[in-house]
Structure formats: C-alpha cells, structure tokens
Structure 1
Amino acid sequence: MEGVADIVVVGAGIAGLAVALGLHRSGLRSLVLESSDSLRASGFAITTWTNAWRALDALGVGDALRRQHVRLEQLVAFSASSGSVTTRLSLRARGKQ
C-alpha cells in the first residue's frame, strides 16, 4: 500500500481499540469514534479466551492486562429450588495448570 491510509474505527471498546493499535503498529493512521461522552471504568466484564489472549499478546498488551485480570477456574450452576449444585464446568485448559 502506498501513501497514508485513513481508516475510521467505530467503537472504542476492546475490539475497536485493538484494531486501532494494530493499524498504528502497521503504520496506518486511524480515527476511533465512540458514542459515549466519557470513558467507563466499571460496569462491564469480558471473558477472554485463549485466542483472544494470543491476539492481545501479538499487540503487546497481554502482560499488562493479565496483571489486572481475574482468572476464573470454574463455573458452578445451582438449582434455584434446592440450592444444590447442578453442574460444574472447569475453565482450565487441558494439560495446563
């Protein structure tokens, strides 16, 4: 690609910011548009699976995010009527600790 490419990224969520960072590191200029008037520091949670961590590592931000990340080991479902455990689902990668 010759010259400078101007790219508009809609949304300043994790995906939009990751795209903008990747474009910047590739030498491309981008403008990120966000509908919210201010940054939100709370109120949302995301689940980051293995492939997402690989992408964040490729962007060079994985380690910084891991320092603030709460790792879930398992999900447990309970019966609404009895309160007993109905299902346990391990979230640990097989062969990993």
Structure 2
Amino acid sequence: MAILHTVNKSAASHPALEQCLATMQADSALLLIENGVLNAINEGLKADQLALLAAQKRLYVLEVDAIARGITQRLLPNTQLVDDSEFVRLCTVFDTVQSWY
C-alpha cells in the first residue's frame, strides 16, 4: 500500500521524523510541512536518509512553508517543492495519508 507520510515537526525537537522514516516502505513518499520542512535542510539531522528519498523523487516540501522559514536555497538536492494544489493531488495519488505529529 503506497502511503504519503506527512511530518510537521523538526527532528531537532520531536521524534516524528525518525518514527516515520523507520516505517516507510519503498512505495511511500514523504511530504514535509510546517516546521517539518526544516528537516530538508542540506545539513539537517537526517540529511543522509532524506537525500536518498530526494534522489528517488520521494521527498516533497510544502513550498510556502520553506519560503516562510527562508530555507528554499538550503534544501537537499532533488527535493520537490509543492504548492497547496499539489499537496491535495498527492493525497489523492497515494492509497492513504499518514500524518506524524
């Protein structure tokens, strides 16, 4: 079952990202929202794992949240920025959405 995982917390302050990554399957993807976008910074705590997802085109970042935090130029290579419409579309493409809070 293909799952779109969403994480809204920074790994520096909450275990949500670590828990999410531990359960992700090969057909799943990760969308970072709110403070979760901070995880996609090139020098972030889980940068190695997230870089692999990005290389596989399985890492998405909500663009408005990245802009609000001033990090768009510091994101991992191959990170896919999405707008609200694409967020909704992703929710329909995957079998289910799992939010990590």
TM-score range relative to shorter protein:
under 0.3
Q: Which has more helix, going by share of residues?
A: 2
TM normalised by structure 2 equals 0.27
Q: Which protein, 1 or 2, shows the higher relative CO under an 8 Å CA cutoff with sep ≥ 6?
A: 2
TM normalised by structure 1 equals 0.27
Structure label with greater radius of gyration: 1
